[in-house]
Structure 1
């Protein structure tokens, strides 16, 4: 960044509107601020466009002559000696505007800060200084809000900032510190991240994650907890607004292919977030928490669980958190999925009357945590931080069994004549629950192909063995695959649509590969699958036995024909080079499956 470039930015922001310190403003003042901020925003965006045009030009001449007539006079006597203190002052001035109690002003002020960050990124230098400045103000204001009587100098020293910040006039910012302004800074950080994800610049993102990760580590989150429940003067709107922005930021940070420095800090803060939203005592206040916030909490948990290997202590704590805060959704029957078939758009996290969307995520997360405890592999057993692998495995098993038991008739293990029908009915309802949300459908189906209930022969405990048999029957991958195809009405075109979709293609292909491998290993179970629709139940035992045999063959042949047509369609698209990825492995599995069909 040249002297001219940062000087003109500094003088543009150094405007009379930046010295206002009152957070409450009149309509006239609001109008004036909005006009000025709009002009500043447009000017900064114009300069960003100049960087883009200059980077595509080979002529140095064009860089200096493109807008000489439009450039304002710059008083160099008022300029900082370098870009760094200039940028610190710019961020400090703009942060003050984030405290103004006007959503319109705050919206524009956020956009101006984000545009300044874009300007710095486009210039190719001082990006880390800008990130550090934004994070400095985030830490400073949080410290001031939770400790209103603290001295500004002590605050600066406490959060480990260098002497460059001591030259700033922090008093106006501190005087107007509130959860409202903290939330606005968090919104700035999230918006910047969304912009950076579109940039093909790994270095810029690496700096963002590193600086923000360090910032999150320094914030006294437990003190935030205390401030919420001790200081009754805290406006709940601004507090929950801050929490909402923070949750959105965390979801964006966790939406990455690889773990970054912020993820572990998010994991540490996460229990606090649940406490903030649901209350210190853990009551489930559905009236005071939006379905959207619940949705974001569950999304964050699912993303974190996919991004990092959670140790057994964390998994057990998550199971307790789910039981504590989402018990209503966890206990809700899975056998009433027809309610949202005619109103799929209504099944949205933004719709306060719908809960199926949330229930799917709660159950998925609960099963994922339970399975991870039951199926601890040897490597994870050695790394088990609680020191008692059997206890963890037992916890996962009992947790899963207790949940399923609530959804089945009492003493089902003793009612042999009803056992098979009850298992199939529950499994079918379970599949139907997820059929209206494609991404969650394949997440849960993939999870259930890892059912860790195979090794029951070596178990001597009768009760535990019966539990394992029940779980293995309900979550049998072969049974699930048959029911999945029946819910699709054995329409191979639907499977093909899943496979070529950019949203579900990879997960659907992975699911089919796993199921085909399992089917080939358990061919007898697949061929003899006893599927019988409820309308086909007969009162006569002999008739029922005859119908069972017919439906067993019918289910097998329908599945076979569906997969045969799928193979032909995939081959046709692949030959024309129209398939979005190489389906060769999938085709090989389908060929192996059809070979077994021919032998039958």
Structure 2
């Protein structure tokens, strides 16, 4: 059958099955008596559409084509189909609404598969959302205000009885359709979707929603447990919460579209939709979260916070935004996430069991256990976003309208047309960092404090332990700290006025807190100097790229700051620290790494570094103790070099590690030149 014939077939199916329930006379609340009939009819439609998609390549339905041709014109088919399915969403039945959402998603797949003007389908669905949203907010005397020439008159009348759950249903359908736009979809198809959704969001009467939204999400959600939040049912929560949650999920799905949102500076310009979403962020936060002083810590609020922080982090990684956007986000952090920023870094014990699996909430946990886990997860997100906003402001080029700019570490501090604005932005970023760190340090700390170095080290160690529990953020935040160090170094080198002013007002130095060489040493200590853990990070699909970037930058930094790396100072109980990252029990022949210091000898013949030690351990001086730390770090990195080299030789490494191997070989050369080495065995 031709594409037009397929569409006629679907139109006739929908008309015959759903018309008794979607005509003008049927716009009434669903009773228990006819709910079953509607569910049976709509479920049959779903099954037949699914079968038709599978059988699309066959030509066994020519007779149906002949009888369908007189049903309606092709031009009328899609509006008729969308109208009847959207009207089902106005029924006061969670089950009917659920089936209607599935029907819209399947129709999207059907028109895409059969080549029947998918663009028009998405346009109609977005127009339906515009109208439903407007009708949801309007009084009966204002209904005509939201009539649309793009939407069928029957649909306009059918949507007069819509509510928030109706709007949530259309939003949910758009979200699932977006998720189904797989890698093999043509970029043009994805662009049409983004264009239509962006146009829809720009036309929505958000100001009116600001006035109408007075729902107390805090009090409503107090009775919802963790398990109830996982129920896929609209009956467990208010339609307002359902709408907000579904809308927030749609926005996050749009931003997470990896095949459309490519990496690299050229795509930072991306799509106008991302600018639209950025402009919506303050509203989303206002709708979804109560202010700090009114906040009741409930699971639904934790979920909203998680999604909002995730959204802002993702947007920040995609676009180099305007400075005013970063100012706005910092204000949001202080108004709605301040308790997370001030939460002690060591409040939650670092443990492998804290790692999250796809969500900040797990079905097997009690509410109290989920609260602790989600709190530490949200704390990591909030701190990451604070650092991201701060470093972006510190490195801004000063443009007030910089949505399409793309900066790299090499383009920091270029000439800018607005020095005054640049100065205020940089000062704001530096102040945010200093003030946040000050709240986590001893009040009497100063550069002249006798334990100043230990205090700085302890802060860095606590910071690392917080993020070691969440691999996907770990290397992103480590790269972020390297960027901060790079910015500070350049500011100090050119004697930046804003930097000097801020330094004078605080009794400690950010350069000491974020010393990148010391931080790398601490990182290796936290993973027990186990090169296998590093190897796991490097070959992981989640952390591989960011870990490789971090190691490359650290290797370059270490080779240029060799003395600092070799003379890393011992502090506190560093050598006896337990770690949350150890090599797990592997296959045959490999062993579980003990809690003690890893051996420098590997069964596979890893690098052995022998450093001459004093005969009497009690006579170790400070320099010799420093050398002990260097020895462990060197053994770890040289063993990593051997492991990567062996895998690469056998073509078993998942990507080309040549650049990293060159850096590691340079590190090896410097180790050989270090006084006190009397032998090496390299395979």
* Distance across 1 between alignment mates of 2:358 and 2:153: 53
Q: Deviations over 1:454-481 (max 9, x none)?
A: 1435368476257596211111111111
* Distance across 2 between alignment mates of 1:142 and 1:305: 29
Q: Deviations over 1:486-528 (max 9, x none)?
A: 1110111111111111111111111100111111111111111
* Distance across 2 between alignment mates of 1:4 and 1:596: 73
Matching of residue 412 in structure 1 with residue 422 in structure 2: no
* Distance across 1 between alignment mates of 2:477 and 2:69: 63
Q: Which residue of 1 aligns with 2:644?
A: 570
Q: Does structure 2 conserve the Cα–Cα contact (< 8 Å) formed by 1:311 and 1:384?
A: no
Instruction: Report the CA distance between 1:32 and its aligned residue.
Output: 2.2
Q: Which residue of 1 aligns with 2:156?
A: 170
Q: Does structure 2 conserve the Cα–Cα contact (< 8 Å) formed by 1:312 and 1:384?
A: no
Q: Which residue of 2 aligns with 1:180?
A: 165
Residues 244-255 of structure 1 aligned to structure 2 (within 5 Å): 244-255=245-256
Q: 1:34 to 1:557 in 2, by over 3 A?
A: same
Secondary structure, in 3 states, of the residue corresponding to 1:416? coil
Matching of residue 35 in structure 1 with residue 40 in structure 2: yes
Q: Which residue of 2 aligns with 1:12?
A: 13
Q: Which residue of 2 aligns with 1:367?
A: 387
Q: Deviations over 1:97-146 (max 9, x none)?
A: 11223222222111111000100111123111101100001000111112
Residues 274-353 of structure 1 aligned to structure 2 (within 5 Å): 274-279=285-290, 283-287=294-298, 289-338=300-349, 340-344=351-355, 348-350=359-361, 351-353=370-372
Secondary structure, in 3 states, of the residue corresponding to 1:183? helix
Instruction: Report the CA distance between 1:149 and its aligned residue.
Output: 2.7
Q: Does structure 1 conserve the Cα–Cα contact (< 8 Å) formed by 2:87 and 2:155?
A: no
* Distance across 2 between alignment mates of 1:322 and 1:386: 27
Q: 1:496 to 1:303 in 2, by over 3 A?
A: same
* Distance across 2 between alignment mates of 1:250 and 1:386: 35
* Distance across 2 between alignment mates of 1:411 and 1:24: 67
Q: Does structure 2 conserve the Cα–Cα contact (< 8 Å) formed by 1:337 and 1:429?
A: no
* Distance across 1 between alignment mates of 2:665 and 2:92: 66
* Distance across 2 between alignment mates of 1:509 and 1:340: 24
Q: Which residue of 2 aligns with 1:376?
A: 396
Q: Deviations over 1:39-74 (max 9, x none)?
A: 1111111111123xx2xxxxxxxx43x3568x5984
* Distance across 2 between alignment mates of 1:109 and 1:86: 18
Instruction: Report the CA distance between 1:30 and its aligned residue.
Output: 2.5
* Distance across 2 between alignment mates of 1:187 and 1:149: 26
Secondary structure, in 3 states, of the residue corresponding to 1:338? coil
Q: Does structure 1 conserve the Cα–Cα contact (< 8 Å) formed by 2:290 and 2:336?
A: no
Secondary structure, in 3 states, of the residue corresponding to 1:31? helix
* Distance across 1 between alignment mates of 2:195 and 2:501: 52
Q: 1:166 to 1:230 in 2, by over 3 A?
A: same
Match of 1:403 among 416, 436, 445: 436
TM-score normalized with structure 1 length: 0.89
Unpaired runs of 5+ residues, structure 2, are 221-236, 263-269, 362-369, 398-410, 577-616, 675-683
Matching of residue 80 in structure 1 with residue 115 in structure 2: no
Q: Does structure 1 conserve the Cα–Cα contact (< 8 Å) formed by 2:101 and 2:169?
A: yes
Matching of residue 480 in structure 1 with residue 491 in structure 2: no
* Distance across 1 between alignment mates of 2:505 and 2:624: 30
* Distance across 2 between alignment mates of 1:528 and 1:271: 47
Q: 1:223 to 1:551 in 2, by over 3 A?
A: farther
Unpaired runs of 5+ residues, structure 1, are 55-62, 538-542
* Distance across 2 between alignment mates of 1:327 and 1:571: 46
Moved more, 284-293 or 200-209: 284-293
Secondary structure, in 3 states, of the residue corresponding to 2:10? helix
Instruction: Report the CA distance between 1:299 and its aligned residue.
Output: 0.6
**Aligned residues between the structures:** 573
Q: Deviations over 1:249-274 (max 9, x none)?
A: 11111113243332111111111011
Instruction: Report the CA distance between 1:545 and its aligned residue.
Output: 10
Residues 227-242 of structure 1 aligned to structure 2 (within 5 Å): 227-229=212-214, 237-242=238-243
CA RMSD in angstroms comes to 2.8
* Distance across 2 between alignment mates of 1:281 and 1:425: 29
Q: Which residue of 2 aligns with 1:453?
A: 488
Matching of residue 429 in structure 1 with residue 462 in structure 2: yes
Q: Does structure 2 conserve the Cα–Cα contact (< 8 Å) formed by 1:423 and 1:474?
A: yes
Instruction: Report the CA distance between 1:281 and its aligned residue.
Output: 9.3
Structure number with higher helix proportion: 1
* Distance across 1 between alignment mates of 2:455 and 2:216: 53
Q: Does structure 1 conserve the Cα–Cα contact (< 8 Å) formed by 2:481 and 2:516?
A: yes
Moved more, 342-351 or 553-562: 342-351
Q: Which residue of 1 aligns with 2:203?
A: 218
Q: Which residue of 2 aligns with 1:102?
A: 93
Instruction: Report the CA distance between 1:239 and its aligned residue.
Output: 1.3
* Distance across 2 between alignment mates of 1:404 and 1:231: 34
Q: Does structure 1 conserve the Cα–Cα contact (< 8 Å) formed by 2:82 and 2:125?
A: yes
Q: Deviations over 1:183-213 (max 9, x none)?
A: 1110000000011134432111111011111
Q: Which residue of 1 aligns with 2:129?
A: 138
Instruction: Report the CA distance between 1:152 and its aligned residue.
Output: 4.7
TM-score normalized with structure 2 length: 0.78
